[in-house]
Amino acid sequence: MKPVGNLSSASASLVLQEVTAGYAAVSAPSAAPAAELREVDLHVAAGEIVCVLGPNGAGKTTLVRVASGLLVPWSGEVRLLGEPLAARSRAEVARVLAVVEQMQDIAGNFTVRDVVAMGRAPHQGGWMRATSEDDGIVDDAIARCDLLKLASRPARALSGGEQKRVAVARALAQEPKVLLLDEPGAFLDVRHQLDLYELLATEVKERGMACLVVMHDLNVAAQFADRVVLMKAGRVVAAGGVAEVMTWKTLKETFDADLYCGVNDLTGARFFLPMRGRRDAST
């Protein structure tokens, strides 16, 4: 199936153009190691949430690592705010791009507030001295992520869901123009998951951020995404609006599973339910 929708934009905040990437080293020109991403075209504009969906092993996390500059693509280009990502220093990238990774690794006995305050580091001088403005931004991020009661507790002692909220607060404190999130709803209960995505939707619109979110929950994506990208085996299967892309046929092709696609009579939002059924002999 050909990708749906316009997948590149010169004015977008984040652009991946014909990106092929992987983790195995290429030892010779004739070598052909397995790529995690294959000729991926994708863009995220300011003020929009783009949700990336796909089965395990589709390359979603690799996509985030390439988009953040942590993994250099074998071919193709990543552009951040109109400039090649490879031409920017890590300090320059950190001032405009924030990442919330799938797994959190909090070292030491830092408190929740300490960790959130680390988001201000790219904007501070060599002495890392916080200003009153920094303090206000950190306090606001803590409040927005419902962490006020946990602010003085050691971050390592928190549950997985609470640590995820701390990571999101740190990213918001960074005040990025581009925000990348890999499964931000993981470990969160239903209330905090919905609160998180409501917060992201508000922040993206009010601050004009470009937000790329990797997730598994089709129903949440259908409610909050401005556009959806479906991936399978390192390639983009389809990209576009929710109604355009999240159809039975396209989801079946992406996930190799039958999903009932319905529409909520009250909100008009699409919803999806897995269906028991006969699997194709080839799957």
Amino acid 201: pLDDT? 95
Q: Is residue 208 part of a domain?
A: yes
Q: Is residue 183 part of a domain?
A: yes
Residues of the chain with pLDDT under 70: 1-10, 25-33, 107, 126-127, 278-283
For residue 173, which of 148, 142, 209 has the smallest C-alpha distance? Answer: 142
Alpha-carbon distance values, 180 to 64, 96, 175, 246 (Å): 7, 11, 12, 22
CA 256 to CA 89: how far, in whole Å?
Answer: 41
Q: Is residue 195 part of a domain?
A: yes
Q: Is residue 226 part of a domain?
A: yes
Query: Are 229 and 196 contacting, i.e. CB atoms less than 8 angstroms apart?
Result: no
Give 10's Cβ-side CA count (13 Å radius).
Answer: 0
Domain span at residue 60 reads 14-23+33-107+176-274
CA 254 to CA 72: how far, in whole Å?
Answer: 26
Query: Are 18 and 41 contacting, i.e. CB atoms less than 8 angstroms apart?
Result: yes
Q: Is residue 261 part of a domain?
A: yes
Name residue 48's amino acid: E
Q: How many domains does the chain have?
A: 1
Q: Is residue 138 part of a domain?
A: no
Alpha-carbon distance values, 98 to 5, 64, 254, 266 (Å): 26, 11, 28, 35
Q: Is residue 1 part of a domain?
A: no
pTM exceeding the 0.95 threshold for the entire prediction: no
Q: Is residue 71 part of a domain?
A: yes
Which CATH number does the domain housing residue 200 bear?
3.40.50.300
